[in-house]
Amino acid sequence: MEFDCWTGILVEGKPYTIVEKIRYKEKETDDRWTEYGLAAEGEEKRLWLTVEGDNLSCTLSRTVHRSTAPQGYGLRDKGEQIVTGVWGDTDASVGDTASYRQYRHEDGKRLFFIECWKGGEQDSAEGHSVQPSDIALDPAVSETRVRSMKWSARKKRFMNGLSQGVTVLGVGLFFFFMIDEMPDMSTWHDLRRLVGMPYAAEERVGDAPYASKEISAEGGARAYEVQTDAGTATLDLIEGLDGNVMDGYTEPELEDPPFVLRTKAEEVRITAASAGTAHIAILPHYVDDASAQNRLKRNYTLARYAEVVRTGDVRGRSVVVRQ
């Protein structure tokens, strides 16, 4: 069970719209789970739908303002979590970490959660278990409501970007007046990541250790021919972007399917060319409107490798080779 942002779903018969999606991994184990931020018509506060593993456990919860578990709850689980993927209108970032405690009520149904994020912020929520059969797509979701939510999210990102732009200007002036030399390219990329303007795929193509040249393309894309094979170029792009890829897949049912990488700002398609070369086409990011059925047919090995890179997994490229 997995849903995309801006999708309408029914939870226990009530309609919600998914406005944010956060994927987590337990730091010391392979446990993984996904948290969806849900907005209901006429309600300002979000609810949280948590889906663990292969739908082994589902929980619906809401934020509460208390720092300890209520009476009647016992500690069920604890550990440290790391954010491995973010989508939609969210303040979370890939790489964020928090210690967590999960409590279960003696009735076996109600749950209480405490998260202590690195940096000092603490979140608490209370909720209850939900049967996976009580979660389904909502075919009657209002397109008007979804567009309104997307507009609010874009407005929020614009204001955040404006604030970051002011920060970049201030940092640039600092370097101009306070040091003799501008930082080298790698340091400059690190600085951009720090202020929320990360390395772009198009820049990585120009900085890559293999030769590249721009070629003609259609549909507003920028295209390049690179002197390496398509698989190597794809893995290099994922690594060059520090694994900050929202999605990565191939579509096996297509003839000569491209490797597809999607970031917050770009969509990249890498295809094999002649004599060990590859073509890389870079387009502006757009909403993936493929049907749920077609998405299930995709091979998401590249997305899993991006997660390996983001989390610093020592297995490296062997993950892709084995799959």
What tens digit of pLDDT does each residue of 257-309 get?
899 999 888 899 999 998 889 999 998 877 777 887 888 889 988 998 888 88
- Give me the domain span that covers residue 236: 202-323
CA-nearest of 282, 178, 288, 200 to 244 is 200
pLDDT for 320 beyond 70: no
Task: Give CA–CA dist 262/77, Å, rounded.
Answer: 34
pLDDT for 77 beyond 70: yes
In this prediction, residue 112 has a pLDDT band, given cuts at 50, 70 and 90, of very high
Residue 88 CA: distances (Å) to CA of 14, 50, 82, 135, 150: 21, 16, 18, 20, 9
Instruction: Taking residues 70-99, report their average pLDDT.
Output: 89
Q: In the prediction, which pLDDT does 124 show?
A: 93
Does residue 43 lie in a domain region?
yes
Query: Same structural domain for residues 191 and 245?
Result: no
**Mapping DSSP to helix (H, G, I), strand (E, B) and coil, where does residue 70 land?**
coil
Q: Could you say which of 197, 219, 242 is where a domain stops?
A: 197
Q: What is the pLDDT of residues 200-243, one digit of tens each?
A: 787 788 777 788 888 887 766 788 899 999 998 999 898 888 88
Query: Same structural domain for residues 268 and 187?
Result: no
How many domains are there within the chain?
3
Query: Same structural domain for residues 49 and 121?
Result: yes
Does residue 3 lie in a domain region?
no
Task: Give CA–CA dist 289/19, Å, rounded.
Answer: 16
Structural contact between residues 82 and 25, judged by C-beta atoms closer than 8 angstroms: yes
pLDDT for 107 beyond 60: yes
Mean pLDDT of the chain: 80
Find residue 215's DSSP bridge partners: 223
Question: What's the pTM value of the predicted model, to 2 decimals?
Answer: 0.51
In this prediction, residue 182 has a pLDDT band, given cuts at 50, 70 and 90, of very low
Tell me which amino acid residue 293 is.
Q
Q: Which of 7-11, 178-182, 221-225, 284-288 has the lowest mean pLDDT?
A: 178-182
